[in-house]
Amino acid sequence: MTRAAPDPRKTLDPDRVAQWLACHPDFFVGREGLLQQLKVPHPETRGTTSLLERLVHDLRSRAEQAEWRLEQLLESARHNEGQYRRTRELVLALLEAEDNDALGQALATQLAERFHTPAVALWCPASLTDAEPQPPQPPRQILDDHASQRLAALLDGRASRCTRLTPTDWKRLLPHVPAPDKAGSCALSRLTLGEPLGYLVLASPDPDHFRASMDTLFTEYVGEVVARLLVRLTPASP
């Protein structure tokens, strides 16, 4: 009685077959006809397709993915270039300010025009304004205990943060800008230069403009520039 030949699928380990083929890349030399006979599952429809057609499909898919990744990199590069140019114009405008009022107004104008940030407040302690001949003009505000406590609470121990801003907080922290009917969002940064110099508040009525998940590197950078210019432009006490 003739014994049936064992099913190769049950006697051959697929991993060992793959390892053997990887170690013997010349196996198909002289067996090109076998390559044409091989059938593999079609990646998109039921049934099979030739090995060569499957390779062409896979190569085309890889090329499309590489093209998509390249486009993403180019888009990121274009965004970063635009961000750099806008930041450069902002800093140059701040450097041209002749006093702290002009600094605050330049900050508000540049952020509104170049970064779509409609509301800005610059809260500084009275020690930075005592020697000025006139009271500070918006967006500059004199930091009092109530504003200081609320800003510190919103920062929650951090140097900078993006968070929601209720209409009540908006009215208190941006009194020179009409408050929205609903909660907006803001980016806060503590101003320091060896000593506390106040707070920078960037706000928008759009609750998603400043999301909690956003990076605050830009806000911190602007705050560092503003802090240095505040000290430089503050008149010496008589």
Q: pLDDT digit of tens for each residue in the chain (238 aa)?
A: 455 555 555 667 878 877 887 888 787 777 767 766 666 676 666 666 666 676 777 788 888 899 989 999 998 899 889 999 999 999 999 999 999 999 999 999 999 999 999 999 999 999 888 888 889 999 999 999 999 999 999 999 999 999 999 999 999 999 999 999 999 999 999 999 988 899 999 999 999 999 999 999 999 999 999 999 999 998 876 5
Residue appearing with tokens 């230069």: 193
Q: Say yes or no: domain 97-233 is CATH 3.30.450.40.
A: yes
Of the candidates 229, 231, 238, the residue with the CA atom closest to the CA atom of residue 128: 231
The whole-angstrom separation of Cα 24 and Cα 75 is 43
Q: Which pair of tokens denotes residue 19?
A: 């390892």
CA distances (Å), origin 161, targets 185, 213, 214: 11, 9, 9
Q: What is the DSSP letter of 127?
A: G
In our burial notation (b when 16+ CB lie closer than 10 A, e otherwise), range 180-214 reads beeebbbbbbbbeeeeebbbbbbbbbeeebbeeee
Evaluate the CA torsion angle 71, 75, 76, 80 in order and state its sign.
Answer: positive
Looking at residue 229, what is its pLDDT?
96
